[in-house]
Structure 1
């Protein structure tokens, strides 16, 4: 252990992180001995109980089965009557009362603070020539990086690129076209080069669209929308 976190994580992840479940169980057992209102239980769960695994979850992706077991523990405590040891009826599904935590804050740091030490370290090791939103898992990826990629995939739903220079945006694969609801060009169109970048659509040496390239690459509807897109003058990556 180092700073309260496992220094080594092997294959038996539930055993390695079992101390988190034990700490949570001890907390809940202490609260069960007291008469606490439903509102009081809500405060304890939100501000105390969820803080027990949160510190570790900020660095590691805990096993899904273990997270489910801790959710069951919290669920049982919340619904249990303060005047009886018997289990009460669960009137609402737990998914409607809770939200999962993940390592998305690392992804946000990589995007907004690229010069920070942690951003430069991960970029040099895992995506030296790519943006974090384009990075993939490689052979021998660490447990922490796997968790970050999983969190990245969650926050990618609904994001889009904001155009600056178009150097790294693959226009046939990524969301960037602001005039469309899903921000993507027609995915059923037959593209000659699916790796073409936005910058390749410009007239060389400028940020003006090359009408002939845009017209020959995309469908008529997408081409019209692209040619009407105006570039921003400040470097923002996603919205």
Structure 2
């Protein structure tokens, strides 16, 4: 099995086995860092700059299973609290509290599931915002010929990439508004 842009070429089987390369790559990086020589601030910088950036490309293309995101979170939390680089250390605060913003007395770490959904919502918004791009034309020809990517359209045998993007549809719809303008394209009953 070869790699193309950091993703394996063959995409089949169990998703947790398929995405295990992301977890392995993160674990390799974390094991290479010497936690005993870093302060808590240094660990925070390493987590925010390197550990959060490693799975970003994969997460912007595909939805990671919850078991994989839980393992990624566990590996980062173990590194954050460890004292000698090997043991997990004492977890003095829950991880979801550390993921809250600094103004809310957290450390501002990213929640992996929320970040994954936000990146997929960004890709879906690209389909709406740039309909003349090659990216949008390919997906329009395959999945939503006479509709919008935000509409519920049944498609025959959708790819995992498309299913991943439409899983973020609710997030896009939550923040979507329509400007009235002349009112020609406005549907009073359905448009937000």
Using structure 1 for the length normalisation, give the TM-score: 0.65
Superposed structure 1 runs of 4+ greater than 6 Å apart: none
Deviates further, 132-141 or 109-118: 132-141
Displacement of 1:119 in angstroms is 1.0
* Other-structure match for 2:115: 101
8 Å Cα contact 1:136/1:149 also seen in 2: no
1:153 equivalenced with 2:153 (yes/no): no
* Other-structure match for 2:11: 9
In terms of fraction of residues, the more helix-rich structure is: 2
Distance 1:112 1:23 in 2: 33
8 Å Cα contact 2:62/2:164 also seen in 1: yes
Distance 2:25 2:158 in 1: 29
Deviations 1:107-158 (A, max 9, x none): 2211221111101111121112112221445331110001100122222213
Distance 1:80 1:136 in 2: 48
Distance 2:150 2:186 in 1: 10
* Other-structure match for 1:119: 136
- Residue segments in structure 2 that go unaligned for 5+ positions in a row: 100-109
Change (3 A) 1:67 1:115: same
- Residue segments in structure 1 that go unaligned for 5+ positions in a row: 176-239
Distance 1:161 1:75 in 2: 41
Deviations 1:75-95 (A, max 9, x none): 121122358845112313336
* Other-structure match for 1:224: none
Deviates further, 162-171 or 131-140: 162-171
Query: Secondary structure of the residue that 2:9 maps to in structure 1?
Result: coil
Superposed CA RMSD: 2.3
Query: Secondary structure of the residue that 1:51 maps to in structure 2?
Result: coil
- Which structure has the bigger radius of gyration? 1
Distance 1:77 1:122 in 2: 40
Using structure 2 for the length normalisation, give the TM-score: 0.79
1:129 equivalenced with 2:146 (yes/no): yes
1:142 equivalenced with 2:159 (yes/no): yes
Match runs of 1:183-194 below 5 Å: none
8 Å Cα contact 1:37/1:82 also seen in 2: no
